[in-house]
């Protein structure tokens, strides 16, 4: 069984690699910047340092959403090759694009703050009358938040819009829910959580949170939100039972320290389970005829690892 961990730096992957190796799995790390995608005729090849990437039983991608433009074609190729990955096609586009993420959650019926988005400042003012204050107002350029402010009435929203001097590609208005934030890590069907206190308009950093046992309903919402955003492993933040954030990566060290759990071991167990499923699928009934061995010497070898 072979599992690949893709991260931006080896230090980010080390804990997962160690957990996999302790379970007797052949695990390899690959820095995301070393990967290239080469399109040739009607085929796309995944290469690392110029060499074609071997087929793996499972791939764990642990990188920031801002790398979506590169990660998404990689996810598509992994899907085409039938390799399990913790993120599905579209996951990183959803994570990168906040307005799109809340639309996705709404379509899937996941509890989330009511959200309105528009590319027009004038239009967003009119739409603001359809939801209640206070609101979290954000402006975006290239899907990246530029300014964010809690506004309590239409006058404050007006001031916020007029204060923006640069060209903006979009606005988002989201119902602002005051309360403690429950930051969850979803790993398959398991949920680990940290409670972050809300005080005087600010929410405590994760490192200052406390271990929290989520309710059955909170677990169900967190898992559903992760899956709706095409992620099997994700961070999901909840406030009063509503989803306010979904991301493909999470602060491992903080969760391990506060929750006194070994999340990397849970991730390793989950990946091994998925790898075993993949391994059993690629065993063909033709093996006993020796056809697989013959094909291994041809151009088709890459499909019969």
Residue 305: predicted pLDDT: 47
- pLDDT (mean) for 274-287: 65
Q: Of 235, 211, 212, 206, nearest to 223 (Cα)?
A: 235
Tell me the per-residue pLDDT of 10-28, one tens digit each, with 9 for 90 and over: 999 999 999 999 999 999 9
Q: Please tell me whether residues 169 and 214 are part of one structural domain.
A: no
Beta partners for residue 137, in sequence order: 149, 173
Tokens of 294: 């013959």
Domain with residue 39: its CATH number is: 3.40.50.20
Range of the domain at 75: 2-92+264-303
Q: Phi-psi bin for 52: left (phi > 0), alpha (psi -120 to 50), beta?
A: beta
State how beta strands 35-40 and 43-48 pair.
antiparallel
Check residue 143 and give its pLDDT. 66
For residues 139-145, average pLDDT: 71
Give the pLDDT band of residue 6 (cuts 50, 70, 90): very high
Q: Which residues of 174-197 are buried (b: 16+ CB within 10 A; e: fewer)?
A: bbbbeebbbbbbbbbebbbbbbbe
Task: Look at residues 76, 7, 2, 3 and name the one whose alpha carbon lies nearest to residue 35.
Answer: 7
Point out which residues pair with 3 in neighbouring strands.
27, 58
Q: Is residue 299 part of a domain?
A: yes
212 and 270 in a single domain? The answer is no
- In this structure, the answer to whether residues 208 and 237 fall within a common structural domain is yes
Q: Take residue 3 and report the two structure tokens written for it.
A: 């599992």
Q: In the predicted model, what is the mean pLDDT of the chain? A: 85
Tokens of 142: 């290239």
Position 102 in a domain: no
The secondary element (H helix, E strand) that includes residue 17 is: helix 10-22
Does a structural domain hold residue 290?
yes
**Boundary residue ending a domain (105, 140, 175):** 175
The backbone region for 81, taken as left when phi is positive above 0, alpha when psi lies in -120 to 50, beta otherwise, is: alpha
The per-residue pLDDT for range 235-247, each reduced to its tens digit, is 999 999 999 999 9
- pLDDT exceeds 60 at position 288: no
Q: pLDDT for 149-198, tens place per residue?
A: 888 888 888 888 777 766 666 778 888 898 999 999 999 999 999 999 99
CB atoms within 10 A of CB 220: 12
User: Taking residues 208-221, what's their average pLDDT?
Assistant: 96
Tell me: do 10 and 67 sit in the same domain. yes
Do the domain assignments include residue 136? yes
Angstrom distances, CA of residue 119 to CA of 93, 135, 152, 153 = 18, 17, 22, 21
Structure tokens given for 52 = 């074609």
Helix or strand run (H / E) with residue 210:
strand 210-212
If asked whether residues 12 and 87 sit together in one domain, one would say yes
Among 18-22, 58-62, 80-84, the range scoring the smallest mean pLDDT is 80-84
**Domain CATH code at residue 225:** 3.30.470.20
> Per the structure, how many domains does the chain have?
3
Q: Would the CA dihedral through 92, 98, 103, 107 be positive or negative?
A: positive
């Amino acid at each position: 069984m072979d599992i690949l961990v893709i991260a931006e730096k080896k230090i980010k992957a080390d804990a997962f690699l160690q957990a996999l190796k302790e379970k007797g799995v052949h695990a390899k790390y690959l820095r995301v910047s070393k990967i290239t995608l080469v399109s040739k005729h009607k085929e796309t090849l995944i290469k690392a340092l110029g060499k074609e990437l071997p087929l793996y039983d499972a791939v764990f991608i642990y990188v920031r959403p801002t790398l979506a433009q590169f990660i998404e074609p990689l996810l598509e190729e992994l899907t085409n090759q039938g390799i399990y990955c913790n993120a599905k096609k579209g996951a990183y586009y959803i994570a990168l694009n906040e307005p799109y993420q809340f639309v996705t959650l709404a379509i899937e019926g996941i509890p989330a703050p009511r959200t309105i988005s528009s590319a027009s400042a004038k239009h967003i003012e009119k739409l603001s009358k359809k939801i209640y204050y206070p609101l979290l107002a954000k402006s975006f350029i290239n899907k990246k938040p530029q300014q964010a402010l809690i506004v309590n009435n239409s006058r404050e929203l007006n001031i916020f819009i007029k204060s923006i001097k640069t060209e903006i590609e979009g606005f988002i208005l989201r119902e602002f829910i005051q309360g403690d934030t429950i930051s969850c890590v979803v790993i398959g069907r398991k949920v680990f959580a940290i409670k972050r206190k809300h005080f005087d308009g600010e929410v405590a950093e994760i490192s200052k949170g406390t271990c929290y046992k989520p309710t059955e309903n909170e677990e169900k919402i967190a898992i559903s939100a992760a899956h709706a955003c095409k992620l099997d492993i994700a961070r999901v933040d909840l406030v009063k039972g509503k989803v306010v954030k979904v991301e493909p990566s999470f602060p491992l060290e903080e969760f391990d320290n506060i929750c006194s759990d070994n999340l990397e071991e849970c991730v390793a167990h989950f990946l091994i389970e998925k790898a075993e499923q993949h391994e059993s699928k690629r065993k063909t009934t033709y093996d006993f005829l020796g056809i697989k061995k013959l094909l291994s010497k041809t151009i088709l070898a890459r499909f019969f690892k």
